[in-house]
Every structure is written in structure tokens, then in C-alpha cells.
Amino acid sequence: MATAFQWVRSLIFMITIYAWMLILGIVFAPYALFTKRGALQACKTYARSTMWLARWMVGIRTEVRGTVPVDEVVIGAKHQSFLDIIIIFDAIPHGKFIMKKELLWTPIIGMYARRLGCIPVDRGKKGAAVAKMVKDVAKEFTEPGQLVIYPQGTRVAPGVQKPYKVGTAVLYEGLGFPCVPVATNAGVFWPRTGVMRKPGLAIVDFLDPIEPGVARNEFLGRLESVIETRSDALMKEVGFVRDGVH
């Protein structure tokens, strides 16, 4: 009975947050079309209200740990669900995301992504996509901000292993900024698929930065090690372990 009730609450929550996205997107559109500040305010409002609704409707609390970067950095983040995007975006001052190209054509999301300065990537073109990404990022960084990239390229469910791609290292080298690794356990409560949302504490942890100048292979090894180790610890903290034993 409790599980069924939580599923119904989760369904109502999901309908609510996507309806709210549409409403906010329309209300802020005139402001966002003329200024990036308008787009930023709209997205910050959505992130904060969604976290509030998650706590109230389905029992998901959120917490940010570590030192949140405010300068120009590359953020290499573990990506388990839509929730970790929201928490990270709310925490940093001027977030810009590396995102799959198809999202630019999504109603509401696409327009605001463009206004925020997010960088689209054609994941099917691999090497060419990475080269274009670096060029587009260099162009976009005429304005300060924190560039968020997901080193594994997509959402990865808790407990699933997926290799880290070279794109984060290429950006790190090309931009010459520090890279801040970010760990999370958000997928334990807000999974990448399905309706059910589970109550608990979803954490995003900003870890010690990797300063510029580290060789590519060493950088990727360090990035993967610190993110995976800390994410495993955060998941274990809330009762989940990588092998699926709870």
C-alpha cells in the first residue's frame, strides 16, 4: 500500500513539475528573449521550486556539499538523473551545460538553453563533435561562467559502470581552467527512467579542483577515480551499494 501511494505521489509530482516548467517558460519568455539575465532567473526559479516540490510532494531532500565554484571552471559531474542537473544549476552562479544537440529543439528547454549559452554536441560524430565543442565553448566564454560537462556522456544509473570519455579532458586542456569534479547519489531517489521517486537525501558534492596542467591520461584517471569513489560513498551513506545490495 505504501509503495502504491508513493507511486501516485510521484506521478502527481512529475505532472506538476513539467506543467510548472511550461508555465514559467511562458511567463518569463518576453524577459528571457531580450536578456540572458531573464533566462537565468527563470531557470533558477524553476530549479529552486522543483527542489521545494520534491521535498514536499515525494520526500526528496537535497544537500550541497563542498566548495561551490564561482569563477570560470570546468565542472566534470556525475550524472544520474534530472535532479542532479537541478541541484548543480541552483548552486553555481552562472551554469552552462554541454548538452546533446537534440535538446535544442525541445519546446521551452531549447530556447532557454540557447539563452543561457549551453553548448550543443552532436554525439554521433564523435571526433568532429569534440573539435566543434571546443571551438563553440571558446566562443561562448566571452562571458564568465561555470561550464558543466558529464564525463560519461549521459545519465548512468546507480551501480552501473560506464567509461569516461575524452571530451572533458579536451575541454580542460583547451580552456586552461581548473576542473571541479562533482559526485552525487541523486539517482538513488530520482532514477533516470520510470515514475517512482523515493524519499531520502539527494546529495551533490563539489570536490577538490584539478588544477590546469595535468596530462590528459592522468587527468582522466584522477577525474574518474575521485568522482566514482565519492559517488559510491554518497550512495552507501543512504543505503545503496554498487553491487545492488541494499
pLDDT digits (tens, 9 = 90+) for 54-112: 999 999 999 999 999 999 999 999 999 999 999 999 999 999 898 877 777 777 788 88
Q: Is the pLDDT of residue 124 over 60?
A: no
Task: Provide the pLDDT for residue 98.
Answer: 86
Enter the C-alpha cell of residue 196. Answer: 517512482
Task: Provide the pLDDT for residue 246.
Answer: 42
Q: What is the pTM of this model?
A: 0.91
CATH of 60-237, one of 2.40.30.30, 3.40.1130.10, 3.40.50.1000, 3.40.630.30: 3.40.1130.10
Q: Is the pLDDT of residue 128 over 60?
A: no
Q: Show me where the domains of the chain are located.
A: 60-237
pLDDT more than 90, % of the chain: 67
Contacts 24+ apart (CB under 8 A), 209-217: 209/69, 209/73, 209/178, 209/179, 209/180, 209/181, 210/172, 210/178, 210/179, 210/180, 210/181, 211/178, 212/172, 212/176, 212/177, 212/178, 214/172, 216/166, 216/169, 216/170, 216/173
**Cα radius of gyration (the chain):** 18
Residue 245: pLDDT band (50, 70, 90) is very low
Q: What is the pLDDT of residues 180-218, one digit of tens each?
A: 999 999 999 999 899 999 999 999 999 999 999 999 999
Task: Provide the pLDDT for residue 32.
Answer: 86
